[in-house]
Structure 1
């Protein structure tokens, strides 16, 4: 459903949030290793997240990536998806047609419309704090 870049962006943001709770900044290499992503690809994804103010980048010897602890609860999954994939996930055809709308719907249009709306609601209502705390408590994990 998400692009590979978006999947990595979500994983990276969760890992950065976890580290930020501990008052630590993390490097691109640390993030890539933790989320099982190629380092160069991870660097591009992180640049996009910084550009869209999802995460912060601090340069220097003690630099790295972080999210202000007070902002972690305000960062929604929709912010990450928008930064990486834009809004195409909310508009695309379930069968991949270029022209699919209310006037010329594909066979899945009405059913997929419901899925897209539910997905949008979930992404807008889920924040990084919740996901990071689930990992911290051992209820979920980032890497198998």
Structure 2
């Protein structure tokens, strides 16, 4: 359901939520290795997220990436929308172009309620809440 790019972007954003702040910015080279994503790839993804105000950054010797309070309060689904686009999340699970409510593919009716449930959960959970779950030990992120 999610592309590798979206998964990498979510891991990077969570890394920033857990390890960076406005006073303690993190450089791309310090993110790539812990989340196991090539440096150039994660740099490109982070720039997309900066352009859409999901991640903050500062250039220069004391620069790097971090999450502002406004960034932390964005819903997780926004990351996926920026990286993959909203259409990908709503596209047919069998990649059939003509699949929709009136002409459903064989999996449409089986999976559509589950997909809608997942999308609603991603719309209603913030980056801050996911990071808090990791900090509290309710989930883990091997960083």
Q: Same fold (TM over 0.5)?
A: yes
Report 1:32-51 matches (<5 A): 32-51=32-51
Q: Normalising by the residue count of structure 2, what TM-score does the alignment of the two structures yield?
A: 0.91
Across the aligned residues of Structure 1 and Structure 2, the Cα RMSD in angstroms comes to: 1.7
Partner of 2:66: 66
Counterparts of 1:25 and 1:133 in 2: how far apart (Å)? 19
Partner of 1:129: 128
Cα 1:66/1:21, change in 2 over 3 Å: closer
Deviation beyond 6 Å, 4+ runs, structure 1: none
Show CA shifts across 1:58-95 (max 9, x none): 00111000111x22541111110111011124321121
Aligned residues: 143
Q: Normalising by the residue count of structure 1, what TM-score does the alignment of the two structures yield?
A: 0.90
Equivalent position SS for 2:112: helix
Equivalent position SS for 1:71: helix
Partner of 1:100: 99
Partner of 2:80: 81
Question: Which of 26-35 and 86-95 deviates more?
Answer: 86-95
Contact 1:72 1:127 in 2 (8 A): no
Q: Structure 2: which 5+ residue stretches go unaligned?
A: none
